[in-house]
A and B are shown apart, each in its own frame.
Chain A
Amino acid sequence: MHKEAAIREPLILGHKTYHDITEDVCRPIEDKAPKTWYILFGIALVIGLYGVGCILYLLGTGVGVWGLNKTIGWAWDITNFVWWVGIGHAGTLISAVLLLFRQKWRMAINRSAEAMTIFAVFMAGLFPLIHMGRLWLGYWVLPIPNQFGSLWVNFNSPLLWDVFAISTYLSVSLVFWYIGLIPDFATIRDRAKKPVAKKMYSILSFGWSGRAKHWNRFELVSLVLAGLATPLVFSVHSIVSFDFATSVIPGWHTTIFPPYFVAGAVFSGFAMVQTLMLIMRKAMGLEAYIHKKHVEYMNIVIMVTGSIVGTAYITELFISWYSGVEYEAYAFINRATGPYWWAYFAMMTCNVVSPQLMWFKKLRRSLLFTFIISIVVNIGMWFERYVIIVTSLHRDYLPSSWSMHFPTHIDIGVYVGTIGLFFVFFLLFARFFPVLALNEVKSILKSSGESYKNAPDAHHDEPTPTPVVEAASPVVEEKVEEKVIEAVKKGTKKKLSDEEIQSKTYELIAKIGDAGSALDDLKVISGVGPVLEKKLNSIGICSYDQVSKISKEEYDLLDQLTGSFPGRAERDDWAGQAKELMNKPKS
């Protein structure tokens, strides 16, 4: 088993066992859905249906119901398409690229991020399809023999590349996601009580057994799929950028587009993941698995990709002047100072300035701040595409055809409708699917779980029998490790001599009083697991009454005595919790 440095923050908080993880993830699926779920689902469904209505109206009437005109042939439709595709980048990036880099923190978020990816790509794919106007002729993008003789589709066209790129990306992401889901469906299947649920999950889980050979294959398939999906992630948005970059429109035909689009896509994708995760962890009680450290990691990705995007904006601006092509230069001057200056300003503020705030550790670890920034980035990235598409088109080579774009209510309806549909899918996912990759999270519990990490002796959490055969890692190695951990924690945790422990225990008990005959269940206090409870009992703390009397000074004493995760007790406010528990009527 891989060992992880003790100074690395644990990825799974609290004292979880394998069974706890199963419980925590399956509970929202097995319980009745809360009222808020129904309310949110209802709202999303209404908005989504409105969007479907708008699309049907569009199909029945023609693309003319959008605010497009002769000069501005692409506007909200393609803006929304690129925006959704961009959002769809984070999921596979998290599960594929981070898998190749062996980033364990991905395991808490990859499942739902991938779900987000798939639903976002659904929404993205919708726009080019309805933009065709005659949806029923959509199969014309495929190279199939047709009634026009052997006239094939044009394989030189980036628009056709896009068809292949997006559909490959969607189907490979879907397969990758589903292969990971199979073992977790099996977990739900084996727990299901209701016959219908049992039947459904047993179909979905494909009869998964969890034998060693299957896991061996599973891991290889995940790895190879990750290896295949990684270049795919980069290719998709590169190809989306070719839609623009291979044209001869000033403001579009820049060679910087592919890398800059990819960075932008990752940037916006992570922002959407943050938006969804921050709500989901709260709503589904997954705070122990998706916490500040995960948010911080994602914010760092946002900061880095945001900086790349910012650099690209400025490079583009510089090159438009440096190239000496006046059309090119005008396109960029017009973006910043023309009638669409406000869109440019929104894009610059949201995408260049806001991610730079993530340099402050305090800010990137703040959940509220992250949530706000994630929304800001989502808005900014929509405006980026709007700026690129509409502002580049609206003043073409012929001033007499200069025009402005005004969205119609159908434009708005279709866009808002896709957001509604997206949430319909996502809410269904959160209700019926395991939102955490159960099997993956379990596999990192011992290396990155708090109870295993911060108390090196807590390996005996479960009644581990003495192994008959000497384990591969000899005792010597463990000793060294312990010393390293000790050195790391120097200052916060010193080894105490027996007398010191004795005197400190007396001191502590003197302050908070004797337990008497009370023997309360201390595990109810969040932050106390079975191991810690035993320790507390051995010190002489057995009742809520005692815990409630703990104040700052005693917390320090307690930390020294228990030696587990300094400051934790105080942060969790054990005293406050204990007070509440005392006041609760005995059931």
Chain B
Amino acid sequence: MADKVIYAMYDDDDVLKDGAKMLVSKGVKVTDVYSPFPIHGIDPIIGIKNTRLGIMSFVYGLIGLTLATYGMWFFMIDDWPMNIGGKPSFSYKENFLSFMPITFEFTVLCAAHGMAITYLIVNKTLPGMPAQNPDPRTTDDKFVMEFRMSDNTSMTESELVDLLKKTGMTELDQKDI
């Protein structure tokens, strides 16, 4: 489907933020914002929901905890109980303390790596992926707001551009996709 994308470029993060606020109040849908560093407070303005990666990390941690607990019970209690200085090795409970360190480490290992891998996959940032930013300067000192005309059916292109001109943008670019 033919769609038109408009990119408005800004010099300053605060100008962009104020501009976005104004545009949203006028009913414009900001599709995306590209910036060289996180602009704090932009997400609620343009309607981006908080990520749920934190929950995922917790889930991965639980998986790690379960695996470690099961593993140690199996290795040390069930499969081959070691006789160390005649001390009993018959139940997980009695040996629990000495299993703590590795259980902890393994939980952290799973939580951290699971989350990191998920993060890279959902971002679609993987080795060798092509760059997705509209302008190379957005990783340096420029901030870009992206609008899709399909998201903004209530107004024409020129109306949107007129609004944009009031926000203190420095450059305008558009692309058909």
Contacts and interface: CB of A to CB of B under 8 A. Distances in A.
A and B: real partners?
yes
Interface of A: 1, 17-19, 22, 143, 149-156, 158, 160-161, 164-165, 168, 171-172, 175-176, 179, 182-183, 186-187, 189-191, 202-221, 224-225, 228-229, 231-232, 235, 239, 242, 438-440, 442-443, 446, 462-465, 467-469, 471
Given A156-B84, A469-B22, A190 B125 contact: no
> Which DSSP category, helix, strand, loop or mixed, fits chain A's interface?
helix
29 contacts: A18-B36, A22-B36, A152-B75, A155-B76, A155-B99, A165-B105, A175-B112, A179-B119, A186-B139, A187-B140, A189-B131, A202-B131, A206-B129, A207-B129, A207-B130, A208-B131, A208-B132, A211-B33, A212-B33, A212-B43, A219-B38, A221-B115, A221-B119, A225-B116, A235-B105, A242-B101, A464-B12, A464-B168, A467-B18
Nearest to A232: B108
B51 A216 contact: yes
Contacts of A215: 35, 37-39
Contact of B139 (A179, A204, A210, A242): A210
Contact of B106 (A168, A176, A208, A468): A168
A251 to B, nearest CB: 22
Interface residues of B, number: 75
Given A182-B125, A203-B127, A442-B36, A220 B108 contact: no
Nearest to A158: B101
Contacts of B53: 217, 220-221, 224
Contacts of B120: 206
A465 B80 contact: no
A443 B139 CA distance: 13
Contact of B72 (A155, A187, A231): A155
A421 to B, nearest CB: 26
Contacts of B138: 190, 210
A291 to B, nearest CB: 21
B54 to A, nearest CB: 5
B57 A224 contact: yes
Given A207-B132, A217-B123, A224-B53, A212 B99 contact: no
**Residue of B40, B48, B104, B106 ringed by the most chain A CB atoms within 10 A:** B104
A203 B130 CA distance: 8
Nearest to B13: A446
A214 B35 CA distance: 10
B115 to A, nearest CB: 6
Given A168-B109, A179-B119, A212-B39, A468 B166 contact: yes
A22 B54 contact: no
Contact of A210 (B40, B75, B133): B133
A176 B40 CA distance: 21
**Residue of B82, B95, B111, B139 ringed by the most chain A CB atoms within 10 A:** B139
Contacts of A203: 127-128
Given A210-B35, A462-B11, A168 B139 contact: no
A440 B166 contact: no
A313 B27 CA distance: 67
B109 A172 contact: yes
Interface in B76-130: 76, 79-80, 82, 84, 95, 98-99, 101-102, 104-106, 108-109, 111-113, 115-116, 119-120, 122-130
Given A18-B141, A439-B38, A440-B37, A468 B125 contact: no
Contacts of A151: 80
Interface string B44-83: 0010101101100100000000000001100110011010
Given A155-B76, A164-B106, A468-B22, 11 more contacts: A153-B75, A156-B95, A172-B108, A207-B128, A207-B129, A211-B133, A214-B125, A218-B38, A221-B116, A439-B36, A469-B25
